Amino acid sequence: MAQNSTSEQVFRDSASEPTPVPTLPQVGASSRTGDPVLLPFSHPAARPVADGGVSDAPLLRHLRGERSESEDTPAPVWFMRQAGRSLPEYREARGTTAMLDACVTPALAAEITVQPVRRHRVDAGIFFSDIVVPARLAGLGVEIRPGVGPVFDHPIRTAADVDALPPLGDDYEAALDPIREAVGLTVAELGTTPLIGFAGAPFTVASYMVEGGPSRDHLRTRALMRSEPETWHRLASWVAELSGRFLRAQVLAGASAVQLFDSWVGALGADLYREAVLPHSAEVLGAVADLPVPRIHFGVGAAHLLRPMHEAGATVVGVDHRMRLDEALEILPEGTPVQGNIDPAVLFTAEEVRYAEARAVLAAGAGASGHVVNLGHGVPPETDPQVLTDLVAFLHAQR
């Protein structure tokens, strides 16, 4: 992966004393030297909560698998899609700004990221952006149509389409500046609550590019993978570099953990995943493997892929609501922290049903070295925000 020496120098500015932080196993594919990069004092993950940082915040301790038997602290919780349409303050802040324009307006992206932390008291912010933002920053025509999802002007379906993709040089590095600025504003506002950076995984992002828009079964993408593997691999490695550099920019600017979303990867069998997808997802996770931040990998309907998704260089595996966490723990290597997996349907049930599900999820995750509570997939837009606020309070009251 091409590295940007400029941003790295800024990041390691010797004016602020570099502080070593706990290291994670170097399982990423392309960690350049294998040596962990030191974070400057200005990075939130370089300082403990007592000094205004996040390095020992509950979220990060669980993501590192440092839960201790003796402690009486609740499992940390955040929700995928916690920012966004379920919140009236989001609708107000967005106004008529198009979704992808909002993502590249630093003050607005920062404000929207912080809103659910303020309201629900969740244990992490998730950077407000989208998996197709990097493609937009690289110059592709893409928009998010309300109620539909990402739609590309020109689907990428042939070798010639892949040849015509823009090169990801210094222009792309410069185009990431609003992201760096948004992350900087966000972590200043979040204080001792960690920010999770994220990127879309090559399969999920490329499937939008190949299909042109959302698709139920990703047939064209799966057909391309099988009929023109060479074209597929070139497309997936372009997306891997795109997403990897987006992810690295967020961490260097202040994110303390990352999540790679491969939402639609459950459409693939394990053999095709290993051959056509795993190496590319490994490249994205490898783009931050030399940085001391936990790497969460998540897919929907991907219970049959938990092991290869871990092998791709994840340090934490996100599990959707279709598989119990204790079953996932039997599949994953000993000691792997997990994230998940309250069924989003219980956001629309009576409170007893919801809290019974929350208790069951805590019990199923109790055997993990670390457990970060989340939903099995994102917050549906029609969710009553008070239900989420109360669910966080309920989870925080459990021991």
Which are the catalytic amino acids?
A: 81, 85, 94, 130, 208
> Shortest approach of ligand CP3 to residue 202 CB, angstroms?
13
d(CA 319, CA 339): 6
In the complex, minimum distance from the CB of residue 342 to ligand CP3, in angstroms, rounded to a whole number:
15
Among 85, 220, 234, 304, binds ligand CP3 (CB under 6 A): 85
Q: Does 83 bind ligand CP3 (CB under 6 A)?
A: yes
Residues 339-398 that bind ligand CP3 (CB under 6 A): 378
Q: Which residue in 153, 203, 163 sits closest to 308, CA to CA? A: 203
Residue whose pair of structure tokens reads 């389409």 in the numeric block: 161
Contact with ligand CP3 (CB under 6 A): which of 59, 60, 126, 247? 126
Cβ neighbours, 10 Å, residue 50: 9
Give the residue with the Cβ less far from ligand CP3, 132 or 282.
132
Tell me the residue type at 41. F
Residue 115 makes contact with ligand CP3 by CB under 6 A: no
Contact indicator for 90, 103 with CB cutoff of 8 Å = no
In angstroms, the CA 226 to CA 215 distance is 18
For residue 152, what are the contacts with CB-CB under 8 A and spacing of at least 6? 135, 140, 141, 142, 208, 209, 212, 213
Q: Give all strands of the β-sheet with 371-375 in edge-to-edge order.
A: 125-126, 195-200, 257-261, 295-298, 316-318, 338-342, 371-375
Single out the segment in contact with ligand CP3 by CB under 6 A; choices: 14-22, 141-149, 152-160, 172-180: 141-149
Residue 299 touching ligand CP3 (CB under 6 A): no
Q: Which stretch binds ligand CP3 (CB under 6 A): 143-151, 161-169, 187-195, 217-225?
A: 143-151
Q: Which is nearer to ligand CP3, 4 or 259 (CB)?
A: 259
The verdict on 274 binding ligand CP3 (CB under 6 A) reads: no
Q: Given candidates 28, 84, 194, 370, which one binds ligand CP3 under the rule CB under 6 A?
A: 84
Instruction: Please count the residues of the chain.
Output: 399
Alpha carbon dihedral 46, 49, 54, 57, in 10-degree steps, equals: 130
Q: What is the footprint of ligand CP3 within residues 26-55 (CB under 6 A)?
A: none
Binders of ligand CP3: how many residues, by CB under 6 A? Answer: 22
